[in-house]
Amino acid sequence: MSKALKILSRPKGNAEEYGKWSVNPYIGCSNSCEYCYLKKGVWKNALGGNEPTFKKGIVNIDHAFHLAMAEIIEHREEIIRDGGLFMTFTSDPCAPETRNLFFLLVKEVMYIRVPVVLLTKNADFTKAFYYENIRWRMSQDDYGHDVAFGWTLTGHNELEPNAHSNEMRLQEMSRVCRDGFKVWASIEPVIDFKSSLDMITKAVDAGCKHFKIGLLTENTRVCRKKFDVIDCMGFITDVLTITDGKATVYWKQSVRDLLETIYTPAAVDELLNYPHSVGKDWSMFKKED
């Protein structure tokens, strides 16, 4: 008997820091980022490619939609308990080639109150018809609190040749924030501290309420030759000053790994112990937000 096709997955390791459940109907991404983890290590040639294509066994958008919804409904309570559904680890959910399916899924799961998190480098999806459907759905009830749009911001357009520029992404973030959705940013990978600080400052001005911050890695290991621990401490202090009272911050394990080259884990916890620094299990969809 052949193995049943699955679109829903439960990420492990670094990916779990973004979400405990994910929907992955596509493999490949047209952004062609130089640092993409799908182009290196064990995932190279397995989940990569510069053009999004359906996973083997998926026939078309309609087929993918019904497969995904069946799995989401089956695991609905667990997904809600674990903080929501992440779209996606194997492509860009807001790219022109993929957005129709993902936005259909977002609209549908809004009806069943499953929180959704998206992460993109796209900056024109607000013009898409299906985005207008999501915005309309939100206007009928307070469903916008269950959808969080995020953008990767590195400040290095040259490393993301086929993606919209970081500046355009910030403009799109501001538009989506005005539309009433939650907005957040992935400051990963940090290529250099100066560029990342600039992105964080501009994202706060655009309405960003949450940041996930991680260092440039090589095969899931910190590039320690590229980052100095003392410089990193200065970066952390600057980030926490910029975001104080304006946004929450999650420091990814790659940051902790670097700090732990000279500090104990307990000391690192103390260094990052600010009221708006949050842990791995914190959710953007907490009721008190």
**Full DSSP string of 147-193:** EEEEEE--S-GGGSTTSPPHHHHHHHHHHHHHTT-EEEEEEEEES-H
d(CA 219, CA 44): 11
3-state secondary structure of 145: helix
Full-model pTM:
0.91
Domains located in the chain, CATH noted:
8-271 (3.80.30.30)
Residues facing residue 85 across a β-bridge:
116
pLDDT tens, N- to C-terminus, the chain (289 residues): 345 668 999 988 778 889 999 999 999 898 888 888 666 555 555 566 778 999 989 999 999 999 999 999 999 999 999 999 999 998 999 999 999 999 999 999 998 999 999 999 999 999 988 899 898 888 777 665 789 999 999 999 999 999 999 999 999 999 999 998 999 999 999 999 999 999 999 999 999 999 999 998 664 444 545 789 999 999 999 999 999 999 999 999 999 999 999 999 999 999 898 999 999 889 888 765 4
CA distance 264 to 18: 25
| Region for 135 from its dihedrals, namely left if φ exceeds 0, alpha if ψ lies in -120 to 50, beta otherwise | alpha
Q: Residue 202 in contact with residue 189, Cβ under 8 Å?
A: no
